[in-house]
Structure 1
Amino acid sequence: MAKIETFLKSVVETNGFYRNVVSQNQISDPGNIMLYPILTRKHLQENRYNIFSDGYEKLYYAQQLISQSSSGTSGVPVYVYWDPKDYYCSMRVLWNKRLKYYGIHPYQKYVKFTLNSIVGGEYNDEIMWLKESPNVLNINRSSLRTPKDYRRLIEKIEEFEPKWLYIQPYILRKIVEAYITYNITPPPSISYVESVGELLPLELKDRAAKLYNAPVANMYGSEEMNGIAYECPFHQMHILSENVYVECQNITGTHPFGQGEAIITNLVNKAMPLIRYNQGDIITLENLYRPCPCGSTEPVVSKITGRVYENITVGELDLNPYMLLSTLSNINNQFNSILTSYRFEYSKSNRRLVCFIELTEQKKSWFENLKNEILSVLIPKIMSFGVTVDICHEEVHNWNSKHKILEILD
């Protein structure tokens, strides 16, 4: 707790937003984290340019900060900024664990699956991959729609010969099925698979481990925090306490252990500190009463509720949520962060896809323009599905929990 106390006091000394938090909440001991209010995604949206610590706003306008944007399973866009040295310090915590547990180095070749991974045209999700550097093959996951796409993908992975994969369960399941369908063996170079972004079902984890003949580990993280918890070889997902401090909030209050919403404080980001940020996930956090066989004594995330993606399958086509998320993310960036939330609902019986969008109060008059822009992008992408599309205004968003980007109603 000494590290947390030191960090909090430093933040209050250098950050006007948190000086106001301390003053307005009459916090008598700025080093006591339990006295701070919960920071919600709405607070983060509304104070995007107010949470900078002293001197960092100038660096933001000089484009000298690293920007991380997130909507994930929440459909609520938020932006977090890092001083580059702090960002890499935060990432080093996770890399050290990868090396210790699984022998994975940053310079080894790997494949990652991201949104908006291809630099170029605004809505170009037809490009499937990009060799980002000699050791990184970046896959545009929104482009993966048909079995043939996955066949091309596994051929590209075979050609690249990576050491490991950084992959979401939704994509991992499709790739495993493609290997089985086409009776292809994965490249023997792959010695490790890291699952991120969603819940990894145990049956999929076992299938992937058998297929690749390699360990499959969970990494729980976010764009706002980087690594939060990481699975050791003994199947315990330990908190990365050098990077974050994690609490659980439920109806009885906020606690260091138990089940509830993940309340997370990043201990490294000095440019835009996030203290007691409501991540939105429901987790179960357990204390260790004896050291884990891996040597760690850090608390363990034993369960994460939520973070499950669904997809619409029509014939051989998959209308996957990553394509929908990519579309809205691109448009939101083009319109200078006009959206405060977005989500999709699909009716199987009517073959009707509805996109619900919520605009900032000052930009509600832009709804029709934005609606036409979204339709102009979405309709060509899903014409082959025989699916109708509509855009509706979301009047009230539940800020206290995540909702699914894509929800199938019947």
Structure 2
Amino acid sequence: MRALLALGRVLLAQSGTPAARRDDAVRRDVLGQAQTYLTEALRRAEPGHPWRAQAALELAAVHYGTWHAAGDAEQLAAAERVLRGLDAASLPPEERRTRHLRLGRVLLARAEAELAPRLRAGLAAESVRELRAACEQSEAADVPDDLRAGALLDFAAALRLHGRAQEALEAVRRAQELTAQAPALGERALLVRARTLADAGRAEETDAAYAQVADAAPRDSMRRCEILAEWGERLLDRAAVPAASDATVARAEGVLREAFATVPGRAALFSRLQLALARALLVRYRRGGFPPDRYEAVHLLQGAARRGADAELRAAAWLELGRVHAAELPAGGGRDATEAGVAFRNALREARAAAAGAPSVAVARVLHAQGALLASEGHAGAAREAFAEASSEWRRLVAHLEPVPWDEVDETRRRLAPPTGR
């Protein structure tokens, strides 16, 4: 068993080398071998034996690493099962600290991927508890600065997801004091800080922090492109507010355009940037009415709708495209009405595929948009059916305790209400 544990550890370490990280297939193969050895070591270890806990901790690290390399959610679930199978109270101090840290990171990863707000909040809260314990125990045990800084940044990320921005910023500050001895963590510290400032609504500080992160990344690199995309989407959220300044709108378009100029066409980020840049151009078009903005936005939306990386993104692009065409309708319809109808039908198909039977805000929005289009064309009966379906979808979301945009729910109800005086 000792040999199996040693082999597993060596392979886990090998999976983190630059050579393995450059080739995902090689890394997955190395991690797969490590998983085989460590699973067998855990199976052979007797309950209560010190090596059993060590094998479990290493196996959880392998599952977590495989999830990072392959994006397989089952690997994340496997890591959680292994870690929860360890009784923290019975572990020696170092292994107890490691369990808190690794379980906290697994829960943080699950929280970041979780779309349901209630589940996300619960996972974030549990991650905060585990990572707080890991940080406190690391400080008490005089753990090396680079390890303490990494744990503090995970703790800050969990606090941010839990809505505790000030505590998160304090954790980042503490981590940054340690990153002089761990420069590889410097960029991550800046990014966690930028995200936390954005969540706290501190716009100027957010932009300065994102600019600092982007400037630190290699020019024309994929990493810089990812940072610019994230920053641009934050700016777009602010630009879409009616009270936003023209400077905010221009900056959102500029940052997103810079990211789009360097993203590889085969990257999943390509279609996400198409959609985001199109939305920024439409914000500007609705303010200034400059036709080239609309033409370029339509071109970008068509690309995202047809070649988007997933059904959710394609649904959003089709819906946006339908809204653009519907907004240009002349009296009596015309070509834009036909194109809007096609776009909304495609959006509904993709939104339902993405929802897989679960209640969906996207489905409700598309149904409402279809109802509005049909009403504008004079098809009152068909419009009412679409609004009724949208209302039913909103009710399903409320019944599942999911957050809903109440202004949109109220608008659907208003469109369903009988005309005054009848």
Normalised TM-score (structure 1): 0.28
Greater relative contact order: 1 or 2 (C-alpha under 8 angstroms, separation 6 or more)? 1
* TM-score for the superposition, normalised by structure 2: 0.28
Larger radius of gyration: 2
Which structure is higher in helix share?
A: 2
Which has the larger share of strand? 1
